[in-house]
Amino acid sequence: MRAVVIREHGGPEVLRIEERPVPQPGPGEVRVRVRAVGVNHLDLWVRRGVPGHPFPLPIVPGSDVVGTVDALGAGTRGFGEGDAVVVAPGYSCGRCDACRSGREPLCREYGILGESRDGGCAEFLVVGSSSLFPMPARLDFASAAAVPLVFLTAWHMLVDRARVRPGETVLVHAAGSGVSSAAIQIARLLGARVLATAGSPEKCEKALRLGAEEAVHHRVSDFGREARRWTSGRGVDVAVDHVGAETFDGTIRCLAKGGRYVTCGATSGYEMKTDFRLVFFKGLSILGSTMGSNHELSAVLAHVAAGRLDPVLDRRFALEEVAEAHRHLESRTGFGKTVLVL
């Protein structure tokens, strides 16, 4: 089978298309014929390397996998050959207290496809049957591949960590990203009002179409000032941020008393600085969030199947165009998800 392989860290040129043996499913496992796989910033970090964080090279990237069931291991039930499926991007031991209480990301053995083991940028992938979910029938494979990681991440941030309530105000940074385009929709589904930020008028307009009440072009306007104006000086209840150093201080300052800052990443830098008197005087919460649990992915897919949430697909590339797909994602010119179609 063809597979994208990263053997050393570097630019897009280190992405290689190689021939590998087709994997065989063991007991309780399923082999998926991959039809589409999403490209995420996680793939960029795995390819570039992260200081102090070892990746198991060589590795096949790709966390967002959809396809059809190709073969079943012994004793596998619940799916049949040819079924269209979504693969959960995360995996865990399934035995510890965290897993048994539905908090899989807190499992000590938790990992993500394409980061801690081979992922889905290949023609075939073998996973445990518990990692499979029926693909929403209203979607094609490319659109379905734009769902799992970003919607699961955004759902966990807003529902489990920040516990957004109807009528609250939510600031969503970087509306053009996959996580943020999902977060806008989820916040609206929860009955919240949304103020989004984006880096161009075109992205602001798309954020409004997704459900944001207002959108701020952050390159020409101060988002903190706009957030306070939007809330009549009160500040926002919740802020969704994965930008990091560039936005942290301004975001903390525009939170209302009792506000919650929830983050799943820091693409602009990891060292955050702010006046921490604001945190304790205003009773703020700073919440970290990584991925989500399988029951949350099941809820997301049910909303997608019913048409209450929609994947935002930016561009499609062939597997052989994986380097160009990485360059496109790095350019930050798109809005929504970049997907490889096999």
Tallying the residues shown for the chain, one arrives at 342
Query: Hey, how many other C-beta atoms are within 10 angstroms of the C-beta on 157?
Result: 30
Q: What pLDDT does 244 receive?
A: 87
Per-residue pLDDT band for 225 (boundaries 50, 70, 90) equals very high
Per-residue pLDDT band for 267 (boundaries 50, 70, 90) equals confident
Pairing status of strand 84-87 against strand 90-91: unpaired
d(CA 179, CA 189): 15
Selection from 215, 140, 125 nearest residue 176 by Cα: 215
Per-residue pLDDT band for 270 (boundaries 50, 70, 90) equals confident
Q: Decide yes or no: CATH 3.20.20.70 for domain 2-147+311-341.
A: no
pLDDT digits (tens, 9 = 90+) for 20-75: 999 999 999 999 999 999 999 999 999 999 988 899 999 999 999 999 999 999 99
Pairing status of strand 236-241 against strand 169-172: parallel
Superfamily grouping for domain 151-288: NAD(P)-binding Rossmann-like Domain (3.40.50.720)
Kindly list the domain boundaries of the chain, sorted by start residue: 2-147+311-341, 151-288
pLDDT digits (tens, 9 = 90+) for 65-113: 999 999 999 999 889 999 999 999 999 999 999 999 999 999 999 999 9
Which residues fall within 8 angstroms of residue 64, CB to CB, at 6 or more apart? 37, 38, 39, 40, 89, 120, 145, 146, 147, 148, 149, 150, 337, 339
Amino acid at 278: L
Q: What pLDDT does 271 receive?
A: 86
Residue 289 in tokens: 């969030």
